[in-house]
Structure 1
Amino acid sequence: MIETMTDKALRLVRQYVLNHVDKTDVLPDFTVYIVWQCKTLQNWKFLISTDIPDGMYYELTFNGDKNEWYLDAYKKFENQCIPND
């Protein structure tokens, strides 16, 4: 079976989470899901999260010219509502 770009993106983030969990924490079974994705020419971009309540989200980019993946991991610190005056 051929792995799709979407499947690979989800697998890469799952593996990142498993590799970076604090070894003293008990990691529950968790779901990795795509919040947003886009393909432009030969490049892919994914915004991915998990249902682990740690405030993390992941940006995964595939550079089709170089056949490389780039993963950025972010921590959400705050969500503010700012009125539009």
Structure 2
Amino acid sequence: MARKVVDEPSEDVVANARKERAARRNPFARIALFLRQVFGELRKVVRPTRRELLTYTATVLVFVVIMMAIVSGLDLAFGWAVSWVFGDGTAVQ
């Protein structure tokens, strides 16, 4: 059974766009058509609830903190390794 893809524009939007393209209206009419289509697509957007938004925000913040810890740890480890291999510059010749 075929499923309808939500991301595809509806047939009426495509038909209206073709009619408008055939008419070749002035630039202001084209801008108005574009804005109508943008608002039509924005009506289809599903916005997260407050609880979902807080969950997503917390997830992103935790991920960023973990990544910062990993990068900081690697930076310290590589700094120590470079210092060990090349010396710390305090050796007297």
Alignment TM-score, normalising by the size of structure 2 = 0.23
Structure having the larger proportion of residues in helix: 2
Structure having the larger proportion of residues in strand: 1
Asked which structure has the greater CA Rg, the reply is: 2
